[in-house]
Amino acid sequence: MPNSPITAADTVARLIVRNATPADVPAIRALFERAYDGAKVSSYSAAMIRGQINKFPEGQFVAEADGKLIGFCSSFVIAGQLALKPHDWTWITGGGYASRHDPNGDYLYGMEVCVDPDYRGLRIGQRLYDERKKLAWSWALKGIIYGGRLPSLKAALTRADHPYPTPEAYVAAVEEGREKDPVLTFQLRNDFKVIGLMPNYWPEDGQSMGYGVHLLWRNPQAPDEKEEARQKNYGGRLMDVVRVATVQYQQRRVKSFDEFVGMLRYFVDVTSDYRSDFCVFPELFSLQLLSMEDQELSPQEAIEALTRWTDPIKDALRDMAVRYNINIIGGSHPTMMPSGRVENICYVCLRDGNIHEQAKLHPTPNEVYWWNIEGGHELAAIDTDCGPIGVLICYDAEFPELARHLADQGANIIFVPFCTDERQSYLRVRYCCHARAVENQCYVVMSGNCGNLPNVANMDIQYAQSCILTPCDFPFARDGIAADTTPNVETVAFADLRLEALREARYEGTVQNLKDRRHDLYTTVWRER
């Protein structure tokens, strides 16, 4: 008798199932490549996976075998009145970002299950489904709803002998045990019941001819009253209150880099003493280093000279973040890229020692003309110990799709370092930032420069009124302003931001912008680089 081939599943020494984290995103996408032969990866982006994890971390699971990620399962909570109606995958999932997640919903929605083909002998799918059921029990939900694939449907309807006349006839045969479908048969064994068929559920799924089978599992332990259980089990990594400090920073001449760092350290020390979670500096706050130059430089020469300070600035901000136990949004600094491009980059230095980068995507015509600054290409939410955040540098806040992209990835606070020369310029950024707070039901924190830098080209005068903005609804400050500063005066503004208030506004507010979007009419597609 010939030996059976040895598969990866035969060599596993340790297998665990745990909640997914943002660090798992690259491995999850690699898993999709293996499981779907690359077919689904083109439309299932890293940003979508980050959004799923950040919106509902308890509902995303991965399976690991000897440290290798071999299974992924995503889900979110939703109202049954939405999920029990016919729908398609894009609409129900909010374009793949789990944007319809509603902590006050009564059903769990199964968004995705994916298993490495080399490990399919280990019942990974069963383990992931069991985790979903445990989650439904712990949240006291009524059950689980799912749109399942029918990978044998096309073959069954087109085979030469005894083809099924309709998809409904094929599903009925599987329910009665006369046919076996790799997915539906498994789901029926897990006590799911067929509600119906949904055409065009996932049009790209050729094997299923675009159909999804509408499935329901009822939780036998669901109580009539679930509020107590939800309060007990509602989790997540979000803190109840996040204290932010925005620094309205005065530009002035400095004689040395140490003097510049000493000014930054003063504000980090002060905001840390006030037990702030974030200290925010303005865009291009490092331009005052040009005041040290003895010779007159052209604007492009000046910016290139400034890029030499990139590593020392990053090292100083990281040291202060760790030393003072505070997350620092490092304004922005012109940075020379390996390709020779100059980009305007915000360095986010977390108090655990990690540094994240967010480039300005849209340099202003002024920046392009005077400094030859070019725009970056990626926009991602950044996971912190206070939940996911985003950064939009000045002009980027004037593009609504950018803030929406961050909100779709789970960002609750968007930081906007800015640099404007006069009041009209400032108000463009200010009004747009408040619109972004309303549109995305999130907090927006602005930090700008004041003061003057004579003899520094294109940085002569500044106008700023830094502020901390909120959505406009009952849980927030009357005018949607949590805190602001006196214009053009060096100072710090503080505010305590309740993340629970955002959840209340998003799911129970007077208006519910994120929840009420018409995903059936429009969507924004981001390119993965």
d(CA 424, CA 36): 52
Q: Which listed residue (314, 360, 472, 490) is catalytic?
A: 360
pLDDT for position 238: 44
- Residues 6+ positions from 417 with CB-CB distance below 8 Å: 280, 281, 282, 283, 285, 329, 331, 332, 346, 391, 393, 394, 446, 447, 448
Output the pLDDT for position 46: 92
Q: Which residue has the higher pLDDT, 433 or 42?
A: 433
- Identify the pLDDT of residue 232: 40
The distance from CA 356 to its chain's CA centroid, rounded to whole angstroms, is 14
Residue 225 has pLDDT above 60, yes or no: no
Residue 389 DSSP label: E
Q: Which tokens belong to 35?
A: 């499981």
Is the pLDDT score of 239 beyond 60?
Answer: no
Q: Report the alpha-carbon distance of residue 72 to residue 435 in Å, rounded.
A: 36
Tell me the per-residue pLDDT of 314-363, one tens digit each, with 9 for 90 and over: 999 999 998 888 999 999 999 999 999 999 999 999 998 999 999 999 99
Q: Please give the pLDDT value at position 231.
A: 41
Provide mean pLDDT across the span 387-407: 97
508 is catalytic: no
Q: Kindly state the average pLDDT of the residues 446-453.
A: 92
Mean pLDDT in residue range 357-373: 94
Residue of 112, 131, 283, 398 marked active site: 283
Residue at token pair 């909120």: 470
User: What pLDDT is recorded for position 237?
Assistant: 36
**Amino acid 497: pLDDT:** 96
Question: What is the C-alpha to C-alpha distance for residues 192 and 424, in angstroms, rounded to an integer?
Answer: 60
Q: What's residue 89's pLDDT?
A: 95
Q: What is the per-residue pLDDT for 42?
A: 59
* CA separation for the pair 58, 20 (Å, rounded): 8
| Lowest-confidence segment of 160-164, 372-376, 423-427, 482-486 by average pLDDT | 160-164
DSSP E strand stretches across 276-424: 278-281, 327-336, 342-349, 355-359, 373-374, 382-384, 387-391, 413-418
Across the range 224-233, mean pLDDT stands at: 44
Strand partners of residue 329: 280, 348
| Residue 450 tokens, joined | 């004041």
Q: Taken in order 229, 234, 235, 239, is the CA torsion positive or negative?
A: negative
> Is the whole model's pTM more than 0.95, yes or no?
no
pLDDT at 256: 94
**pLDDT at 39 (0 to 100):** 53
Can you give the pLDDT at residue 226? 44
Mean pLDDT of 398-407: 97
**Predicted confidence (pLDDT) per residue in 257-275, tens digit:** 999 999 999 999 999 989 8
pLDDT, tens only, 9-35:
666 678 889 999 999 999 999 999 888
pLDDT band at 299 (very low <50, low <70, confident <90, very high): confident
CA 424 vs CA 200, 260, 465: distances in Å: 49, 29, 12
Look up residue 138 and give its two tokens. 């712990």
Q: Tokens 């889900």 — which residue?
A: 75
228-232 CB contacts, 8 Å cutoff, 24+ apart:
229/138, 229/139, 229/140, 230/103, 230/139, 230/140
Spatial neighbors of 263 by CB under 8 A, at least 6 apart, are 254
CA distance 401 to 436: 9
List all residues 6 or more positions away from 288 whose beta carbon is below 8 Å from its beta carbon.
Answer: 251, 252, 253, 254, 260, 453, 456
DSSP state letters, 427-482: HHHHHHHHHHHHHHT-EEEEEEEEE--TTSTT-S------EEE--SSTTS-TTSEE
Q: Choose the weakest-confidence range: 218-222, 237-241, 394-398.
A: 237-241
Three-class DSSP labels, 193-229: EEEEEECCCCCCCCCCCCCEEEEEEECCCCCCCCHHH
Structure token digits, residue 81: 């009145």
Cα dihedral 43, 44, 50, 56 sign: positive
Q: Quick one: pLDDT band at residue 92, thresholds 50, 70, 90?
A: very high
Of these residues, 73, 394, 419, 442, which one is catalytic? Answer: 394
pLDDT for 420 beyond 70: yes
> 177 CB contacts (<8 Å, ≥6 apart)?
none
Residue 45 has pLDDT above 50, yes or no: yes
Specify whether 283 is catalytic. yes
Residue 97's pLDDT is 95
165-175 average pLDDT score: 95
Look at residue 229 in the predicted model and tell me its pLDDT. 42
- pLDDT tens by residue, 134-151: 999 999 999 999 999 999
Residue 8 has a pLDDT of 66
Q: Which pLDDT belongs to residue 458?
A: 65
Listed residue (355, 352, 356, 336) closest to 344, CA to CA:
336
**Average pLDDT of every residue of the chain:** 90
Tokens of 187: 């789901």
Q: What is the pLDDT of residue 375?
A: 96
Higher-pLDDT residue of 495 and 160 is: 495
